[in-house]
């Protein structure tokens, strides 16, 4: 079948651009090319744009930094240049059916890699975490959009696992040619939602999500005639003829086992990482404690009408080394802390601000702590009450089949 000139031009441009993007963006190949590509972008960007300083500072931060957008422009420019050269030297070719098949294969495995990476991270509850004390004490108004989305997802293990299974299902379907189209449709349905969440909650993975949607569309278009007949024209459609990829039957059989083995290794690898992360999280959460101020005495007096600049609202032990003190004006300051159990003392220090607070502590019971010491030349006595995660309203009403009086 002869392709039109426009079909050939679009294919050449798409082929080059897709290969360049996959080779330079979050893939096993990109790991090896990252250093070279970063230097290349840093070299060409001052020649094309006045972004040298901003570019240098944005490279390591996220996937939607200025560096990444410059990369996309450079990739597209290289693809256009490559298309022009290819067109000049390959005028007589009638079609690119063989290369088209290879492009679909490469796109499939790139999308599979991304879907397994993000999907299994959701299934094993690694991407989103249960809201910690810092999140629970943050107001909606002070929460950035991405943190709001992360809290929404992290709150519900069930919904997070469900969304992850959708991504994993798309990857598994894409793994085999017989289910390639349903796999691409599944990925498109899942990733269009992810892409829009990234856009409207300002999650810095917009470029990658958009390209995964684009790649799923390209895979779907490979079967566009049959899909159009089935879904829109109510016409019968024949099965897609699938010829063995390898002529040797043994190699063809082993190819399927390699796919299944690779899938199993991916799942096992993510699970091992999950165990490691769980261990670190348990160690971190074991030291996380929140204390709300019950009374705040200054120079042995409690004056409800007077607010001191140093008056505390709550004390949060984030982990085994770091604590956050929030004052009544909601100003937060991070400290390193040190328990000296034998001396019954607790010290807070901030080397950046040259702040040091040394307090004596006592525990009348397991849920109360009293601190005594000096803050800004005032003698203070602070009574604190421990607050557990289960004390927050968000964690008190998880799920009910029957909601006679909805808690909303």
Domains of the chain: 5-284 (no CATH), 289-390 (2.40.128)
d(CA 147, CA 136): 11
Least confident of 67-76, 210-219, 279-288, 310-319: 279-288
Cβ-proximal residues to 401 (8 Å cutoff; 6+ apart), any chain: none
Instruction: Report percent pLDDT > 90 for the chain.
Output: 55
In the chain, DSSP finds a helix count (H) and a strand count (E) of: 12, 8
Least confident of 104-118, 191-205, 248-262: 248-262
Q: Which of 143, 149, 130 is nearest to 284 (CA)?
A: 130
For the four alpha carbons of 211, 57, 351 and 297, in that order, the dihedral sign comes to negative
d(CA 315, CA 369): 11
The count of other CB atoms within 10 Å of the CB of residue 4 is: 9
| pTM, entire model | 0.87
pLDDT digits (tens, 9 = 90+) for 299-341: 877 766 666 778 999 999 998 889 999 999 889 999 999 999 8
Residue whose entry in the numeric block shows the structure tokens 């691409």: 184
Quick one: average pLDDT of 201-219? 96
Q: Which helix (H) or strand (E) holds 187?
A: helix 180-200
The overall average pLDDT reported for the chain is 88
Torsion of CA 80, 85, 88, 89, to 10 degrees: -140
Structure confidence at residue 53 as a pLDDT band (50, 70, 90): low
d(CA 353, CA 336): 12
Contact indicator for 136, 396 with CB cutoff of 8 Å? no
Cβ-proximal residues to 254 (8 Å cutoff; 6+ apart), any chain: none
Contact indicator for 370, 344 with CB cutoff of 8 Å? no
Assess whether pLDDT exceeds 60 at residue 359.
Answer: yes
Torsion of CA 170, 174, 176, 181, to 10 degrees: 100
d(CA 308, CA 365): 28
pLDDT digits (tens, 9 = 90+) for 367-380: 999 999 998 888 99
**pLDDT of 304:** 63
Contact indicator for 167, 119 with CB cutoff of 8 Å? yes
Query: Which pair of tokens denotes residue 236?
Result: 């019968």
d(CA 291, CA 313): 9
Instruction: Could you list the beta-strand ranges (E) of 266-365.
Output: 289-298, 312-317, 322-327, 332-340, 345-350, 355-365
d(CA 14, CA 107): 11
């Amino acid at each position: 079948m002869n392709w039109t000139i426009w079909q050939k031009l679009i294919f050449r441009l798409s082929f080059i651009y897709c290969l360049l993007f996959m080779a330079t963006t979050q893939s096993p190949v990109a790991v090896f090319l990252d250093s070279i590509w970063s230097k290349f972008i840093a070299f060409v960007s001052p020649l094309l744009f006045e972004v040298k300083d901003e570019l240098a500072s944005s490279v390591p931060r996220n996937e939607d930094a200025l560096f990444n957008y410059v990369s996309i422009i450079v990739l597209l420019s290289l693809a256009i240049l490559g298309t022009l050269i290819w067109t000049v030297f390959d005028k007589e070719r009638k079609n690119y059916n063989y290369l088209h098949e290879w492009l679909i294969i490469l796109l499939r495995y790139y999308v599979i890699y991304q879907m397994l990476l993000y999907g299994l991270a959701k299934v094993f509850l690694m991407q989103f975490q249960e809201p910690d004390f810092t999140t629970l004490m943050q107001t909606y108004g002070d929460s950035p959009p991405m943190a709001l989305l992360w809290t929404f997802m992290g709150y519900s293990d069930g919904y997070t696992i469900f969304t992850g299974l959708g991504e994993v299902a798309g990857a598994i379907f894409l793994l085999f040619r017989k289910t390639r189209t349903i796999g691409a449709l599944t990925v498109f349905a899942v990733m269009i939602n992810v892409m829009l969440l990234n856009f409207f909650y300002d999650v810095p993975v917009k470029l990658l999500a958009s390209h995964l949607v684009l790649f799923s569309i390209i895979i779907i278009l490979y079967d566009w005639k049959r899909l159009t007949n089935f879904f829109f024209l109510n016409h019968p459609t024949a099965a897609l003829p699938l010829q063995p990829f390898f002529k040797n039957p043994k190699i063809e059989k082993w190819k399927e086992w390699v796919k299944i083995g690779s899938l199993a290794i991916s799942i096992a690898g993510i699970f091992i990482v999950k165990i490691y992360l769980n261990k670190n999280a348990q160690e971190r959460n074991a030291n996380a404690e929140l204390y709300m101020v019950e009374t705040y005495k200054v120079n042995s007096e409690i004056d409800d009408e007077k607010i001191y600049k140093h008056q505390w609202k709550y004390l949060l032990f984030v982990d085994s080394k770091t604590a956050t003190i929030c004052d009544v004006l909601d100003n937060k300051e991070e400290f390193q802390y040190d328990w000296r159990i034998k001396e019954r003392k607790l010290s807070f220090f901030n080397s950046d601000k040259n702040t040091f607070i040394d307090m004596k502590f006592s525990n009348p019971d397991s849920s109360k702590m009293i601190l005594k010491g000096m803050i800004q030349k005032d003698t203070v006595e602070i009574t604190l009450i421990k607050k557990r995660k289960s004390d927050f309203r968000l964690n008190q009403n998880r799920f009910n089949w029957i909601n006679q009086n909805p808690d909303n």
